[in-house]
Amino acid sequence: AGEDDGLAGPLGLARGGNEGGGPGQAADSVTELQILVWERGARPTSLGRALGERRTPLGKPKSWTLRCDPPAGTFPDPDGACNALDELDQPFAETPEDAVCTEQYGGPEVASVNGVFRDETVNTRFSRDDGCEVGRWKKHAFLLSGKS
């Protein structure tokens, strides 16, 4: 994928010239995200948790769009959010399956972020179900609260 293979990226957007990117290197890449945040989510049953089920969103979510380069969208501070995302290394990486997490419950909130970040497809969920996920939520609080 390092050379132009003529393929469009996710969401039909042409790929930018900055493969891989990194903090501060997103100027030539595409970032277009849909952010949904629910204040409540239904917790799976104990069997569901054992099978890897996640919290199910309930009610109507808060919803924002965010584009970078140039910053735009319905997000309240797109410039601040784009700058904060650029400071994070792999901001949408999931918690590894084999991570050891505390059984610390942080609340019923659920969020999803979908789209493209630095030309890479993003399809991730956030919850506050254990210590790892609470930490991940806090790292992205600027994005999930609508305040950067």
Per-position pLDDT tens, the chain of length 148: 333 333 333 333 333 333 344 444 445 789 999 999 988 765 545 555 555 555 565 678 899 999 999 999 999 999 999 999 999 989 999 999 899 999 888 888 889 999 999 999 999 999 888 899 999 999 999 999 877 6
DSSP string, 67-132: EETTTBSSSS-HHHHHHHHHHSSSTTPPPPTT---------S-EEEEEEEETTEEEEEEEE-SSHH
pTM for this one? 0.70
What is the number of other CB atoms lying within 10 angstroms of the CB of residue 129?
24
What is the number of other CB atoms lying within 10 angstroms of the CB of residue 62?
13
Q: Which residues pair with 66 in a beta bridge?
A: 33
